[in-house]
């Protein structure tokens, strides 16, 4: 396996700065997820690593070697795309064998058979090897597409939203499988997505990207608990983090320079009125089975939190709000460190 190091890479398409001075290291055997909205520069970053695009500035290193100006074919990278790119007229077996049969590789057929069978086992599609690619479910097709990358045993895998075309159940299944396969193979994977659940469940580290810039990189826990900015904080967590202007708070000490307070559900507790000064009104309660989403009106701002379904709450009811270690941000949206008591 191998590592990837990007040093200050930039790429512009006419007026659009798709990637801006981005530096990132993906360690050997790591599952790094780049998380960002549409147009953030995720696909461009992957294409720069494969050599399908050349950077305007900066360098790409793979396993300690500068490959910035090397042709794509020499980089030993497998790329899995969003849409399964299978050959419909071929069987699953032949689709999987295809990358190994290229004249440049000259892999002997018995070795091809072994690799294809092993890969099919790993992806739980061994019983489908003789099916035509068109006679598979969406999830099976995407497994074959992933298998076509695995079968080559490259040093690095780049995956561009490979699960986004699948329904929620299959996505959840394949998330687990991809993580299992990555651990089993010790593979180095750079995976891009705009789905926070994929990032949280699969990543060793998450890199949050916006407008071509890497804003923060850390373990899922670091990014969730210690976001560097309000934007990063808003990328993770369901329901989404609440933001409240700091001047609306009563009796809650915040560090100097705080303009906005970020309140995740675990930072906000609600209780029956008992003399506390922060009072909100229940606007709506959504019943989600084991939890309730409670929408609250506080001084004209809407806050959403979770509550135990056994807690009796009615629309229109006034409740006390208790904030527990919320996140503080300055005027520019950058994190202000909390006061340590």
Residues that bind ligand ATP (CB under 6 A): 13, 16, 18, 36, 38-44, 194
Looking up tokens 């004209």, which residue turns up? 300
Residue 298 CB, shortest distance to ligand ATP, in Å, is 34
Residue 235 CB, shortest distance to ligand ATP, in Å, is 13
Among residues 39 and 237, whose Cβ is nearest to ligand ATP? 39
Among residues 43 and 188, whose Cβ is nearest to ligand ATP? 43
Q: At what angle do helices 168-185 and 138-150 cross, to 10 degrees?
A: 20
Q: What residues contact residue 279 under an 8 Å CB cut-off, 6+ apart? A: 273, 298, 318, 319, 320, 321
Residue 164 CB, shortest distance to ligand ATP, in Å, is 9
Among residues 39 and 333, whose Cβ is nearest to ligand ATP? 39
Longest dimension (CA), the chain: 79
Among residues 118 and 213, whose Cβ is nearest to ligand ATP? 213
Among residues 208 and 244, whose Cβ is nearest to ligand ATP? 208
Among residues 29 and 72, whose Cβ is nearest to ligand ATP? 72
Residue 149 CB, shortest distance to ligand ATP, in Å, is 18
Pairing of strands 327-329, 156-160: unpaired
Residue 32 CB, shortest distance to ligand ATP, in Å, is 15
Residue 44 CB, shortest distance to ligand ATP, in Å, is 3
Among residues 202 and 282, whose Cβ is nearest to ligand ATP? 202
- The first and second tokens of residue 177, run together, are 């499988």
| Beta-bridge mates of residue 282 | 296
* Alpha carbons 261 and 230: distance in angstroms, whole number: 9
* Alpha carbons 92 and 74: distance in angstroms, whole number: 27
* Alpha carbons 288 and 305: distance in angstroms, whole number: 12
Of the candidates 106, 105, 130, the one whose C-alpha atom is nearest the C-alpha of residue 117 is: 130
Distance between terminal CA atoms of the chain? Answer: 46
Among residues 15 and 332, whose Cβ is nearest to ligand ATP? 15
Burial (CB < 10 A; 0-12, 13-18, 19+), residue 222, is middle
Residue 76 CB, shortest distance to ligand ATP, in Å, is 23
**Looking at the chain, how many residues does it have?**
341
Burial code of 223-253, b = ≥16 C-beta within 10 A, e = fewer?
bbeebbbbebbbbbbeeebbbbebeebeebe
């Amino acid at each position: 396996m191998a590592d990837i190091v990007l040093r200050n890479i930039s790429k512009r398409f006419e007026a659009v700065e798709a990637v801006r001075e981005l530096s990132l290291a993906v360690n050997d055997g790591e599952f790094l997820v780049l998380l960002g909205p549409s147009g953030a520069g995720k696909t461009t970053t992957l294409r720069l690593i494969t050599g399908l695009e050349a950077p305007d500035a900066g360098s790409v290193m793979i396993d300690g070697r500068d490959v910035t100006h090397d042709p794509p074919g020499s980089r030993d990278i497998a790329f899995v795309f969003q849409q399964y790119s299978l050959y419909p007229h071929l069987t699953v077996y032949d689709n999987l064998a295809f990358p190994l049969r290229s004249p440049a590789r000259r892999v002997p057929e018995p070795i091809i058979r072994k690799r294809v069978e092993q890969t099919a086992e790993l992806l739980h599609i061994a019983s489908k090897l003789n099916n035509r690619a068109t006679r598979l479910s969406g999830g099976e097709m995407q497994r074959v597409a992933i298998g076509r990358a695995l079968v080559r045993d490259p040093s690095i895998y780049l995956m561009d939203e490979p699960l986004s075309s699948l329904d929620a159940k299959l996505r959840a299944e394949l998330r687990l499988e991809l993580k299992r396969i990555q651990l089993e193979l010790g593979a180095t994977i750079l995976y891009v997505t705009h789905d926070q659940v994929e990032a949280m469940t699969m990543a060793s580290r998450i890199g949050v990207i916006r407008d071509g810039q890497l804003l923060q990189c850390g373990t899922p826990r670091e990014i969730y608990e210690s976001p560097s900015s309000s934007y990063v904080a808003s990328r993770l967590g369901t329901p989404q983090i609440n933001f409240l202007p700091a001047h609306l708070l009563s009796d809650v000490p915040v560090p100097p320079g705080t303009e906005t307070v970020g309140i995740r559900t675990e930072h906000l507790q609600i209780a029956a009125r008992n003399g506390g000064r922060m009072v909100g009104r229940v606007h709506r309660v959504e019943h989600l089975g084991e939890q309730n989403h409670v929408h609250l009106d506080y001084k004209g701002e809407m806050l959403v939190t979770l509550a135990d379904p056994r807690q009796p709450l009615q629309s229109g009811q006034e409740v006390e709000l208790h904030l527990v270690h919320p996140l503080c941000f300055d005027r520019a949206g950058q994190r202000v460190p909390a006061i340590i008591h």
